[in-house]
Amino acid sequence: MLPLPVARALDTTLDRLVAPGYLRTGLAVRRHLPGWPADPAPGSLQGKVVAVTGATSGLGLATAEGVLALGAGLRMVVRDVDKAEGLARDLRTRFPNAPVDIDRCDVGDLDDVRRFARELEAERVDVLVHNAGAMPPRRTESPQGHELTMALHVLGPVLMTELLRPRLLGGRVLMVTSGGMYGQKLRDDDLEYLKGDYKPATAYARSKRAQVELLPVLEQRWSPEGTTVHATHPGWADTPGVVDSLPTFHKVTGPLLRDAVGGADTTVWLAATEPVPPGGRLWHDRRDRPTHLLPSTRTGSAERARTWAWVADQLDLDDA
């Protein structure tokens, strides 16, 4: 057994070197280090409702399976209801004591988010996992005219949470972000990616950077009601999204990538572990992590405030 300070130093080294910590070996090593947080207790989500967006594949499906295994009732928030129906039948067979419901919603369409929130039948939601994501190959706009990655990863999740606040009192909100955001600074001067040549991976990472930078704002806004907000990045996981959007990366790293269960591990842990971890932080492999690795990406309070003011204006929110 390594001394705890040495284990912590090894964990931090894996994180700062990126690849060793993000691949499957990083999770495997950390699981055997002293200080690795305990798994949530069996049945720790019994009687609770967890809503997962983008729950039909990859990290979303792995998250759904993980919370069902802990006794949660699941709401699959999806665009493709037909695909979800087939998956839900399988999940109900494997987890017969946990209810599985399906809700249609395109998180990138703000009008559809509003409809979904109005029609949601659940009396409450204990955990809301914002997992839905996309990396369009060219600049694409949402039905409201917003650049799609910002609509899907920032505007839609914030609006959905705002509309569900009465059902989330004392609950947890989890943003599934990406380690790719470490390479980008917050572009409060170009949140809709109107300047320069559009690059899909850059757009994706910029929107995920915005997610992370808004964490302290959202925590301050929602915590008075007892609702905590957290972000988690999965490392490098082998998912259909990676295969479709980053085929070269997948071809090179495929055998070394984590599986979806490994990528979703911290999200499931954050959904269930007690006591509730501190909100407003970024987590990876069950430990809170720095939001910046490069001095060039650091964000000041003015840039964060301008970004929040833009989000609040697009969603017609009180920006206090």
- Residue ranges of domains in the chain, CATH in brackets: 1-36 (no CATH), 41-314 (3.40.50.720)
For residue 244, the model assigns a pLDDT of 77
For residue 241, the model assigns a pLDDT of 81
CA of 280: how far to CAs of 13, 172, 220, 229, 299, in Å? 23, 11, 8, 6, 15
Identify the burial level of 253 via C-beta atoms within 10 angstroms of its C-beta, where 0-12 means exposed, 13-18 middle and 19 or more buried.
middle
At 118-129, the pLDDT tens digits run: 999 777 999 999
At 22-55, the pLDDT tens digits run: 999 999 999 999 999 999 999 999 999 999 999 9
For residue 72, the model assigns a pLDDT of 98
For residues 22 and 256, give the distance between their C-alpha atoms in angstroms, rounded to a whole number. 10
Residue found by looking up tokens 């109900």 in the block: 92
Q: What pTM was estimated for this model as a whole?
A: 0.96
**Residues 1-17: what's their mean pLDDT?**
94
Name residues whose C-beta falls within 8 Å of residue 279's C-beta, 6 or more positions apart in sequence. Answer: 219, 223, 228, 229, 230
Identify the burial level of 79 via C-beta atoms within 10 angstroms of its C-beta, where 0-12 means exposed, 13-18 middle and 19 or more buried.
middle
Residue found by looking up tokens 């757009």 in the block: 203
Beta bridge partners of 304: none
For residues 26 and 29, give the distance between their C-alpha atoms in angstroms, rounded to a whole number. 5
Q: How confident is the model at residue 293 (pLDDT cuts 50, 70, 90)?
A: very high
Q: Please, what is the Cα angle at 50 between 47 and 52, to 5 degrees?
A: 160
**Residues 140-150: what's their mean pLDDT?**
98
For residue 252, the model assigns a pLDDT of 79
Query: Per-residue pLDDT for 160 more than 80?
Result: yes
For residue 179, the model assigns a pLDDT of 93
For residues 30 and 28, give the distance between their C-alpha atoms in angstroms, rounded to a whole number. 6
Amino acid letter, residue 164: L
Q: How confident is the model at residue 103 (pLDDT cuts 50, 70, 90)?
A: very high
User: Looking at the chain, how many residues does it have?
Assistant: 320
Percent of the chain clearing pLDDT 90 (strictly above)? 90
Tally DSSP H helices, then E strands, for the chain: 14, 8
Beta bridge partners of 100: 74
Q: Is the separation of the CB atoms in 251 and 38 below 8 Å?
A: no
For residues 22 and 135, give the distance between their C-alpha atoms in angstroms, rounded to a whole number. 20
For residues 303 and 221, give the distance between their C-alpha atoms in angstroms, rounded to a whole number. 18
Q: What 3-state DSSP class applies to 293?
A: coil
Q: How confident is the model at residue 17 (pLDDT cuts 50, 70, 90)?
A: very high
Catalytic residues: 204
